[in-house]
Structure 1
Amino acid sequence: MKAIYLDNAATTQIDEEVVSLMLTSMQENYGNPSSTHQFGRKAKTAVETARKNIAKHFNVSASEIVFTAGGTEADNLILNNAVLNLGVKRIITSKIEHHAVLHTCEFLQKSQNISLDFVKVDEFGNVNLDHLEELLSASDDKTLVSLMHINNEIGNILNVDAISALCKKYDALFHSDTVQAIGHFKIDLKETPIDFIVASAHKFHGPKGVGFAYFKKGFGILPMFFGGDQERGARSSTENVHSILGMEKALSIAMNQLEKDRNYLESLKLYFIAELKSISDKIEFNGLSSNLDKSSYTILNVRFPVMNAMLLFSLDMAGIAVSGGSACQSGSNKGSHVLAEILNDTNADKTSVRFSFSKFTTKKEIDITIAKLIELL
């Protein structure tokens, strides 16, 4: 039996072209980018070319891109800089952010005595814009708003244009965790002036352990790591050359195929929704994940009408990989902090499963999954 992978919001299969490019780099481009000899210069040139190519996708300059070990480090680098380097005294976020943001904000609240406010979200996970404006207008302290572009558990798409406009109105900085958006949606940072965004390559068919942070030009960067002068002093540590090149290749493929992949996955998601509804009209969808206009086409968070604590395990035993919450909590018994925030007690007690798709997902795999769900439910 062929295994079925429906946990692409956790990580994605690496594209074969990316694997091929990285293998060639490992074999032929092994110099240290900090070395001044020809091997080092070759590696440095490759890294800087990748930086320029990545920057072009967001309509920014190469100097605004800082390579990191992934989205979590990028979020930490940005939030720490906002407080320790840019004078931020107050952060506004929501209780349904990724823990890379929530836990960092809580740490900064305790260690740096910043104010931490949470904007209200409704039962679908929508940010209350009126409450956000109320919070922004309530204080003259230098403020950073940190709200994710696409929620990694329920797939909701944030109205980043509206948030950006409010931040501009109240002279606040705007950071968005864009990990689930990059490689799947176009982001033009000239049209939507977000001050800080982050990426993780393994979310768009690139390698794990590499990503980047975008810092809008004019913001100095205080490093979290010390010991070298890599990344223009922003991040000490020898650059992960092969993974950086793999990330650039994966992003290039994703952006070139974006419309094709989006059309295919939207049709697949709609088909899955229809098949689920045919099982039972009591099956519901968390957040806005069943609304293709307001959620990512890669994520569907399904709430079944019963409590079945063994459902994820049973699907896994059948060769079907899914998630019950964010990937960082997979295998834990803590449950989803996102669903706990937006669902009432009755619905929170029901079994919810996150299915997430990629360009490698097939209709046949959806049919097999539906058949197994009918058997298990």
Structure 2
Amino acid sequence: MTKKRVLVIGQLDGFANSVRPVQIRRFLQERGHEVRMADTAALSRASASARSLRGKLPALRPARMALYGTELLAALLTHRRPLGRRFLSYYLLLADHGLRRAILRRSLPLDDFDLVICETPNNSGVLTATGTRTLYDCPQPWADEMYFQGRLTERQHLKMRRREKELFERVDHLAFQWDTFVRYTVEQYGIDEGNVMRLDFGCTPSPHRARFADPPRVVYLGYLGMEFIDLPLLARLSRIHPRIDVYGGPPPPPELGLNYLGYASPDVLRNYQLGLITCSRDELMRNAVSAKHLTYLAYGLPTLAPAWRRHAERLGGTFLYTENDFASHVEAMRDERRWQQASDAAYAQARLFSWDRTLRPLQELLKDG
């Protein structure tokens, strides 16, 4: 295969957003391609280091200072103010999107690459600023994500959907991180599938699997700052079963009473017997699959997913729960034979979704270029 130059634009925030672009870079580099990573997590800052003083200050360039101001306004006006969140988010999201497009277009040699891959919606505008072949590797439909989080009015939602649909149809290649979102977007947005390719999320099966213990310990690991996580549900489940440890960030509100243990690497999962997923009941989340789900399976952890998540049962080692039967699912895992069968099914599923399997379509894409 001819060596290709690939640019991956991602946001390395230490959570699920970081995993996929890093794996894409590794996968392509191991196959002889030249890959450059553009990390936009600190695009508006004077330094990419969050721990330094400069990492908290705006960059001294007009567009980046404007982006910093937009981020600051979003934090002040939309994060904890319901009216601002619902009526102002749209304008701040558009400003953020436009500024990022302008900054990335000026700062990156887009036309020097054979393929430009964008991993996040807020940076996706840059894909319309180059004649290079483009792949939008969309985590999930953004307009609907913002709407179901209460950040758009009905009218703003329709406008943002139209903008997003136009982007979907302009890029050379479009992928979603779960095949369930392809069907969802075709049905809800009315997109043409002509440029759609399958590129599922993946995982790295761990050589250090979880082991049986009685009573079983339950773990929640992941980002805690979005409404679709449904932290109140996680709090209610914690009252039903007190052995739920919660890792991730940002720290949840103390009044929820969660057993929050801070940030941890996925390797902590080997110390537990059940992985837990919570999510809201909106139509987008009903069709989603959490990245943490595969992380749990990669450690051989049987996983508990909400009964309203339509496609979760397709993954081995997964059990669907409601609040009424949650305790009985945990109790059933006190049977060592039953737990081991579920653990083996979970690990077998993880091997089927290893990154080297799920990213194979990228290799074929570069062959065709």
Taking structure 1 as the reference length, the TM-score comes to: 0.31
Higher normalized helix content (fraction of residues)? 2
Taking structure 2 as the reference length, the TM-score comes to: 0.32
Higher relative contact order, structure no. (Cα contacts within 8 Å, ≥ 6 residues apart): 1
